[in-house]
Structure 1
Amino acid sequence: MNSVDQAKSMARKLRSALAKGDKDISHSEALELVANTLGYSDWNTASAKLEGAVSNAISFGKICPIIRIFDEAKAREFYCGFLGFEVAFEHRHEKQLPLYMGVERAGALLHLTEHHGDASPGSNVFLPTQKIRMFHKELSDKQYSFGRPDLEELPWGLQIQVHDPFGNRIRFCEQVS
């Protein structure tokens, strides 16, 4: 993760922490606060300085799978309660319209959507993972009623496969070298 991405992650976490205390700020306000905390006068200056020299090489950002969900409460229970992700952002065009939400944990960002057409149920996400035995113990200790995933030893590494309430699968895998 580069410095700009780290600063953006700090802004998302700041917004989330403030929201828990009933203090809502916009994403741009959070970016400005992070920029000031890092010693820059504004976000544009911070972003330019943190980015450093721009390369002419092709580059790709972090992958964020979009996963179809149908029920906000069940999605929060599974992704936040069971898997331990935290809400990075939430968006609705209007209060009664479908939710588009990002959840993150330890560098992984997943986009969850109730919008028809954004993604298909039954998706499969492969997520490279470190310390998978520790993660497996954490999940097992929760005694989740809707799934007790096994730790599988496969030719490419140790893997945990979980199924969300909407028919999607996430494969957490600590790959062998």
Structure 2
Amino acid sequence: MKKITPIFRIFDEDKAKEFYVDFLEFRMDWEHRYEDDLPLYMQVSSGDCEIHLSGHHGDCTPGSAIRVEVEDIQSLHAKLIAKKYKHARPGLEDMEVSVIDPFGNRITFFERKDA
């Protein structure tokens, strides 16, 4: 098996971009629509982490959760806090930082503890 690509349900394209691109600093890789008036399906990424965001009913369930391994969780935490994003001020607990997107999806960033 190889990597997985989670899909998160979104309901507002601008809020999704504000959260994933502006706040988390993911890169927007591509966008797709079957027609101009149909829902957006897009990919955002940061390093090796890729997430698909879908406005299509039935693609996924709001309120999903994923865990993303990172290096230097303390720097990530400091960077997110410094942004003073009005919808999220995540804490750092047990080498984990959890954020919830505007649609109820949770991303927990963690740094692997040495055994």
What is the TM-score when the length of structure 2 is the normalising length? 0.96
SS at match of 2:75: helix
SS at match of 1:171: strand
Amino acid in structure 2 at the alignment position of 1:168: N
- Equivalent residue number for residue 35 of structure 1: none
Larger RCO of the pair (alpha carbons < 8 Å, separation 6+): 2
* Mapped partners of 2:92, 2:112: distance in 1: 13
* Mapped partners of 2:47, 2:76: distance in 1: 11
Select the residue among 31, 42, 48 that pairs with 1:101: 42
Pairwise CA RMSD: 0.7
- Equivalent residue number for residue 42 of structure 1: none
Pick the structure with more helix per residue.
1
Equivalences for residues 24-63 of structure 1 within 5 A: 60-63=1-4
Pick the structure with more strand per residue.
2
Instruction: Tell whether 2:67 aligns with 1:129.
Output: no
Q: Compute the displacement of 1:175 (Å).
A: 1.4
How many percent identity over aligned positions?
A: 48
Q: Compute the displacement of 1:129 (Å).
A: 1.1
Equivalences for residues 1-177 of structure 1 within 5 A: 60-153=1-94, 158-177=95-114
Q: Summarize deviations over 1:2-32 as a string: whole Å, max 9, x none.
A: xxxxxxxxxxxxxxxxxxxxxxxxxxxxxxx
Q: Which runs of 5+ in 2 are unaligned?
A: none
Q: Please identify the structure whose Cα radius of gyration is greater.
A: 1
SS at match of 2:31: strand
Amino acid in structure 1 at the alignment position of 2:24: L
* Mapped partners of 2:67, 2:9: distance in 1: 16
* Mapped partners of 2:69, 2:5: distance in 1: 13
Aligned residues: 114
SS at match of 2:28: strand
* Mapped partners of 1:128, 1:142: distance in 2: 21
* Mapped partners of 1:127, 1:171: distance in 2: 6
Q: Compute the displacement of 1:61 (Å).
A: 2.1
Q: Summarize deviations over 1:146-169 as a string: whole Å, max 9, x none.
A: 01000011xxxx100001000110
